[in-house]
Chain A
Amino acid sequence: MHLAQLNVAHLLAPLDTPQLADFVALLEPVNTLSDAAPGFVWRLKGGDDPTDTVRHDYGDDLVINFSVWESRETLWNFVYRSRHLAVLQRRREWFQRIAEPYSVMWWVPEGELPDLAEGMARLARLRAGGPGPEAFTFKEFHDFQEPVISA
C-alpha cells in the first residue's frame, strides 16, 4: 500500500501579489525536491510549468498539495527532514492560521492514483469525526491493516 496525503492552505493574498512572490518563487525548487525525494510516487500537477499550482473548484484562495508516497517515513523525511521544512516554517507569511486540520492521509493501493474529490471528502471526514483508519494525520497515524475476511 502507498500513502496519500492532501493538504490545503488559505492564501493571505492572491498568488500574483508581491506578498506571495517568495512563495511562488519557491514552488519550482520545492517541487523539484519532492519529485526527487526517496519514496516519492506521484503528485497532482497544475500544468506542465513547475510553478503551476493545482487547479480546483474549492475557492481561489485555496492552495492544494496532493501527493502519494511509499511510506510514512519517506513522506516525513520530505516534509520535516529536507529543505522543505524551511519553506514550511515561513507559512505564516503567506497563509492564514487555521484551527482545524489542514492535512489528511490515507492508504491507497499501489498503482492507483487517488482523486482530489476523494481527498477533500477525507479531509472533511477528519475535520468532522477526528482521525481514523480512513483519514488520519502524522500525530494520529494509522498503519495499514489487512482487512479481516469473515466467513
Chain B
Amino acid sequence: MDSDEAVALLGDPVRRELYRFVVGLGRPVGRAEAAEAAGVARGLAAFHLDKLVDAGLLTAEFRRLGERTGPGSGRPAKVYRRAPAEHLVSLPPRDYRTVALILAEVVDLLGGDELAEEAARRAGRKLAAADPDASPREILARQGYEPYEEDGVLRLRNCPFHVLAEEHPLLVCSMNLSLCQGLLGGGAIAELDPRPGECCVVVAKKDRL
C-alpha cells in the first residue's frame, strides 16, 4: 500500500482515534482497552485496528495480558503497537530527506559539528519564539517529539529525525540536543539520556513542564 493510501485510512474518525490512542501509549494495547478509549464496541475497534495493521500503520502480535498463566488464564490476546515504517506524504512531491542526508555527510567531512549545533540552537529559538506562552511539553509535542512524563522528567517517545540519526548518530543527536535547548530556552533543562527506540533527549523540570 502506498503511503498516501495508508494515511488516507486515518480519515475515518474512529480509526484515527484508535491510532492516536495506541501510538500515545507507547506499549502494546489490547482490543478492549482501545475500544473503551475510543468509545466504540470491541468488535468495531477490532475491525478498525486490523485495517490499520493491513495498511502498515500498526503491527499486531499475540500475548498474554494480566498476571495469570497456565490453565484458565485464557488465550493470548491480540495486541497492537505502532509500526516502525515511516509514511511521508507530500503534495506536490518533495524530498528533504535526501538533501538532509547529503548535508549531514558534508558537515561530518568538514568537522563542522559545532557550527551545526549552534545553527540548531538558533533554529530552536526561532521556532519557540512563534509561541512564547507554550509550556515545554506543548512545544515539544508540536515539534513531534511525543513527550511523556516519567520519574519527574519529560521523556520523548519519538525521534523526529530518525533516519538521519541512524546514519549520523553523533552529529544528529548533538544537533537535536541543541535544537531542544533552543526550543526550551531557560525554562527547562534538556540533556542527552538516550534509550533504544526513543529520542536521545530528556527534559528536566525547572518550574513547570
Contacts and interface: CB of A to CB of B under 8 A. Distances in A.
Contact of B170 (A82, A83, A88, A97): A88
A88 B173 CA distance: 11
Interface stretch (B38-46, B149-157, B193-201): B193-201
B170 A80 contact: yes
Interface string B169-209: 11001100100000000000001111111001000000000
A42 B111 CA distance: 31
B192 A81 contact: no
Contacts of A86: 191-193
Chain B residues touching A, range? 10 to 19
B158 to A, nearest CB: 14
A85 B168 CA distance: 13
A80 B194 contact: yes
Contacts of B196: 77, 81
Interface residues of A, number: 14
Nearest to A87: B192
A92 B177 CA distance: 16
Interface in A49-91: 77, 79-83, 85-86, 88-89
Q: Is the interface of B mostly helix, strand, loop or mixed?
A: mixed
Interface string A18-52: 00000000000000000000000000000000000
A89 B174 contact: yes
A81 B195 contact: yes
Interface centre among A81, A88, A99, A139 (most CB of B within 10 A): A81
A117 to B, nearest CB: 28
A89 B192 contact: yes
B114 A92 contact: yes
Interface string B142-172: 0000000000000000000000000101100
A17 B156 CA distance: 37
Contact of B173 (A77, A89, A97, A139): A89
B167 A139 contact: yes
A97 B111 contact: yes
B173 A85 contact: yes
A97 B192 CA distance: 22
Nearest to B195: A81
Given A80-B194, A81-B196, A83-B194, 20 more contacts: A79-B169, A80-B170, A80-B200, A81-B194, A81-B195, A81-B200, A82-B194, A82-B195, A83-B192, A83-B193, A85-B169, A85-B170, A85-B173, A85-B194, A85-B200, A86-B191, A89-B177, A89-B192, A92-B114, A97-B111
Interface of A: 77, 79-83, 85-86, 88-89, 92, 97, 99, 139
Per CB-CB distance, the 6 closest pairs between chain A and chain B, nearest first, are A86-B192, A80-B169, A81-B194, A81-B196, A77-B196, A89-B174
6 contacts: A80-B173, A81-B195, A83-B192, A85-B170, A85-B192, A139-B167
